[in-house]
Homo-oligomer: A and B are copies of this chain.
Amino acid sequence: MNPTVLKLGGSVITKKDRPETVDGERIDRVAAEIAAADGPLVVVHGGGSFGHHHAHEHGLTTTAGSHDVAAVLDTHGAMTTLNGVLRRALLDRGVPAVPVHPLSVGWRSVDGELSVPTGAVETLLGEGFVPVLHGDVIAHEGAGVTILSGDELVVELAVALGADRVGVCSTAPGVLDGAGRVIERIDSLSAVEDVLGGSEATDVTGGMAAKVRTLLALDAEASVFGVEGLSAFLDGEQSGTTVA
């Protein structure tokens, strides 16, 4: 059975306007809904107020790097802390969550090509564990380290694992049109380019337009939904915007 890959946006599990503050209530809610789901699952979470703060401070993006070990450790350390909080909540609900840190396994070549070997994730999944990964810093040939975004990671994992379903949970109820309504289905970027344009909530790892672009490139059907849509998605139902 092919796994489901679930991305939890940083804004879902942290208070994005306060440095290194988790949203405990949201994390508990999300953990309870994941615990109620069946089937193999990989979880990826973003940085929210943990990762972006340090990334910004050290001038890190997915292309701009640093050789400063403090840039590595501040960013990676904060993400590891957030990963531990989320995993603790999952464990408390009986989910056999285990950490997988991209810094240990991923890298970019000098021309920016991303490699993330997934043998450990696949084997953990096969043995019944729930790997929990996160946006991180990774080694980048010639640039020191750069950011690996949670969104990039979701795509890498979905392709490598042959994911059946991909879910992207953020604080918006889906991809919104100009009038603030959830777009039910997106089959091509050109059809929604006008309304997406850029993202008002820009972060170092790209906004909604970038998310949709990468999700469109997937074979698997992807869903973009809010926290209130998570339970339906995990139950196998349509939720938020379907990007196919």
Q: Is the interface of A mostly helix, strand, loop or mixed?
A: mixed
**CB of A161 closer than 8 Å to a CB of B:** no
Are A138 and B120 in contact (CB-based, < 8 A)?
yes
Interface residues of A toward B: which range? 35 or more
Are B107 and A119 in contact (CB-based, < 8 A)?
yes
Are B119 and A96 in contact (CB-based, < 8 A)?
no
Closest beta carbon of chain B to A138's beta carbon, Å: 7
**Given known contacts A69-B91, A104-B104, is B127 in contact with A141 (CB within 8 Å)?**
yes
Cβ-closest chain B residue relative to A133? B104
Are B103 and A120 in contact (CB-based, < 8 A)?
yes
**Given known contacts A117-B119, A141-B127, is B103 in contact with A98 (CB within 8 Å)?**
yes
Contact with B along A111-153 (1 / 0, CB 8 A): 0000101011011101111000000001111111100000000
| 16 A–B contacts from the bound complex (CB under 8 Å) | A69-B91, A69-B129, A73-B91, A73-B98, A76-B98, A99-B101, A102-B104, A105-B117, A123-B141, A124-B139, A126-B139, A126-B141, A127-B140, A127-B143, A127-B145, A128-B144
